[in-house]
Amino acid sequence: MEHLNQAWIMLKLGGIIILPLSLLGVIALAIMLEKAFVYWRFARLSNDLLNLIETYGFKWEDLEKILSGLDQRHYYKRFFEVVISNRHQPSWWTESRAADEAQLIESSLARRLWALETIVTAAPLLGLVGTVIGMMRAFQVIGSEGIVNPTAVTGGVAEALIATVIGLIIALVALFGFNYFSRLQSQTMDEMERLGTRLIDHIRLDQKEDIHEIA
C-alpha cells in the first residue's frame, strides 16, 4: 500500500502533462490486449488443420469438416473458404480471389497498429513538454524568490523528470508491442500464403486428373 501511495505522489508531482500521458498509456495497453486476443482467438492455426493441408492428398470434405468447427471470424477459415468455394474455377481465378481475401485479412490484422506507432513518437514528446514546463516553473521560482524556497525548485525539477520517465516508459512499451504484433502479422500472412499455395497446387492436380479422365 505504501508503494502505491508513493507512486500516486510521484504522479501528482508530474503535473498536468501526466493526464495525456496516462491516456496514451491506457490506449496502448488496450490496443495490445485487443491484438493479443485477436491472434489467440482468430489467428491460431491448429495442428490438425496444418497437418491435413501439408499432406497434399487430403479430401476437400475433410478440410471443410475441420473448418466448420472454427469461428466465422477466424482468419484462416475465411481465407480457406474463399479457395474452397472457387476451386472449380480456373486456378488463376482462385488465386485472384484468395489474394483479395488475404489483402482484407492483412488490413484487419494491421488495424490500430498505426496508433501504437504514433504513441511511440508522441509519448516521449509529451514527456519532453512536461520537462520544459517543470524546468520553467523551477526557474520561475528561482527568479522570483531566489533560493529561499528550495522545495518549490525541487518540485519543478521533479515534475520535469517524472514526466520524462513516464513518457519514455510508455514509448518503450508501445514500441515493443508494435514490433511484436507487426512481426506476428507478417508471420501469419506468410503462413497463410504458403498454405494457400498448397491448396492451389491441390486444385491444379484435381483439374489435371479430371482432364485425364475426360481424355
**Per-domain boundaries in the chain:** 21-209
User: What DSSP designation does 58 have?
Assistant: -
State the virtual CA torsion across 53, 56, 58, 62 in degrees, nearest 10.
20
pLDDT at 132: 75
pLDDT at 14: 55
Q: Say if residue 198's pLDDT is above 70.
A: yes
Q: What is the pTM of this model?
A: 0.81
What band does 131 get if pLDDT is binned at 50, 70 and 90?
confident
- Span 137-178, pLDDT tens digits: 666 655 555 554 555 555 556 666 788 888 999 999 999 999
Q: 45-97 pLDDT, tens per residue?
A: 888 899 898 887 788 899 999 999 999 999 999 999 999 999 888 888 999 99
- H-helix or E-strand containing 103? helix 91-109
Q: What's the whole-number mean pLDDT along residues 132-140?
A: 67
Rounded CA Rg of the chain:
27
Return d(Cα 17, Cα 4) in angstroms, integer.
20
Packed helices 150-214 and 2-13: angle between N→C axes, nearest 10 degrees = 100
Which residues are CB-neighbours of 59 under 8 A, at least 6 positions away?
none
Q: Virtual CA dihedral for 168, 169, 173, 176, nearest 10 degrees?
A: 50
Asked whether the beta carbons of 196 and 106 are under 8 A apart, the reply is: no
**4 or 34: whose pLDDT is higher?**
34
* pLDDT tens digit sequence for 106-128: 999 999 999 999 999 999 998 88
**Do the Cβ atoms of 126 and 162 come closer than 8 Å?**
no
Higher pLDDT, 37 or 5: 37
Report the pLDDT value the prediction gives residue 205, as an integer from 0 to 100.
83
Q: What is the pLDDT of residues 12-25, one digit of tens each?
A: 555 677 888 989 99
